[in-house]
Amino acid sequence: MLLHLIAIFLVLSKNFVSGFIVPIPRLPRINILLSNDDGWAEANIRALYTALNRRGHHAIISAPAVDLSGTGSLDVPARPLLVEGEYGTIPVGAPAEGFEENDPRINYVNSFPVTSVKYGLSSLSTKFFGGPPDIVLTGPNVGNNLGITTQLSGTMGAAAEAVKQGIPAIAFSGATGPHRPYTELTVGDHSSVYAQVAVRLAQALIVSGKPYLPPGVRQNVNFPASNATTCSSPYQFRFVLSRIYNNRFATDVSLCGSTHLPAESDVIRPRDPAQDHGCLASISTFSGSTKIDAGREAQAFVLRKLGPMLTCP
C-alpha cells in the first residue's frame, strides 16, 4: 500500500505546476497496415511491426510471400504457392493468402506488393480493425529508393495503392542491407534503428491529428546508412524536406532561405564525399497516382505538420 501511495505522489509531483494538476497527455493509438516488396519475413518490416506494437499501436502485416523488389505497381490475383515462401517460411502448396501460426496479424499474400495492400485493405483491416486503417506504412525497403527508382519500387507502388484508396501512406527505405530473415534481428541493429526512426516520424504525424497528409499525396522517406559506428542511434537522425527529382525550374515551399528543395539523393548521398553527413534522412512529398513531386501546397502542409523535426541541409 505504501509503495502504491509513493508511486501516485511521484506522478502527481511531476505534473504539478503553479498549484494546478497538469493532465498527462495521452498519445493516440491508431490502426496501421504494413507492407513492403522485400517479403513478409524480411527483417526490416518485422522490426517496424514490433516497434509500432510496443508503442501501443495496432499494426498488421500484409506483404508478399517472397521477395518481389522492383515490381512497381504490378497487380495480379494471388495463387497457391508453387515454390517455398521467403526463407522457407511457407511450404509449397500453401494457400494464396495465409498468416504466421503464432501471430495471425502477420500475413503473406502470394502476389505483388500492390496486391498485398489491396488484400490488407479489403480483408485484413475489416477483420482486425473493423474498417480501414488510419495509415499505411511500407518498408523499410532494403536499399534506398531515390529519383527514378521510385517508379520501379514495389514498396513505393504499395504506398501509392493505399493513397489511391484514400488512405495516407509513407514509404520508408534504408541504405543499409543486405536482405535477411527476421530471425537474424538483434537489439540495436540497423533494422531496429530504422524501425524506431520510422516510428518517430509516424508518431509526429499522428500527434498532429488528422488529416495526416493531403488527399492523393504520400511521402517517400530515405534513411542513410546505419551501423555500429555510423547513425547507430535513432535519435541521431535529422530530417530534411526534399524532392524526388532535382528540378531547378520548380518553385517549392520556402524553407531554409530558398524556394527550391534539395533532391533526396543529395541529402542521402552528398555530392562531396568528404562532407559530414550528419545522419540526414530525406522526406519527399509526391503524388500517389503519378509518382512525381507534389506541389508546394502539399509541401507546405507537411512543413506545418513536421516543422519541429526538420532541419536545413
C-alpha cell belonging to residue 46: 518485422
C-alpha cell belonging to residue 257: 532561405
Q: CB under 8 Å to 6, separation ≥6 — which residues?
A: none
- Cα separation values, 214 from 167, 287, 302, Å: 10, 10, 8
Confidence of residue 248 (pLDDT cuts 50, 70, 90): confident
Which residues lie across from 106 on neighbouring strands? 61
The pLDDT value recorded for residue 289 is 85
The pLDDT value recorded for residue 290 is 86
Q: Rounded mean pLDDT of the chain? A: 90
The pLDDT value recorded for residue 134 is 97
Q: What is the DSSP letter of 268?
A: H
Confidence of residue 16 (pLDDT cuts 50, 70, 90): very low
The pLDDT value recorded for residue 15 is 42
Domain residue limits, the chain? 31-309
pLDDT in tens, 101-147: 999 999 999 999 999 999 999 999 999 999 999 999 999 999 999 99
Distance CA 132, CA 126 (A): 7
pLDDT in tens, 18-76: 333 444 446 789 999 999 999 999 999 999 999 999 999 999 999 999 999 999 999 99
CATH class of the region 31-309? alpha beta
By C-alpha distance, which of 63, 206, 74, 236 is closest to 142? 63
Confidence of residue 85 (pLDDT cuts 50, 70, 90): very high
- Cα separation values, 243 from 151, 189, 297, 308, Å: 14, 28, 13, 19
Burial of 231 (0-12, 13-18, 19+ CB in 10 A): buried
Whether residue 17 is predicted with pLDDT greater than 60 in this model: the reply is: no
What stretches of 239-313 show up as alpha helix (H) in DSSP?
A: 264-268, 296-306
Query: Which residue is associated with the grid cell 501501443?
Result: 56
Confidence of residue 227 (pLDDT cuts 50, 70, 90): very high
Provide the pairing of β-strand 97-100 with 103-109.
antiparallel
What mean pLDDT comes out for the span 285-302?
91
What mean pLDDT comes out for the span 160-171?
96
The DSSP-derived string for 170-189 is EEEEES-----BGGG--TTS
This prediction has a pTM of 0.90
The pLDDT value recorded for residue 277 is 66
The DSSP-derived string for 11-36 is HHHHTEETTEEPPPPPPP--EEEEE-
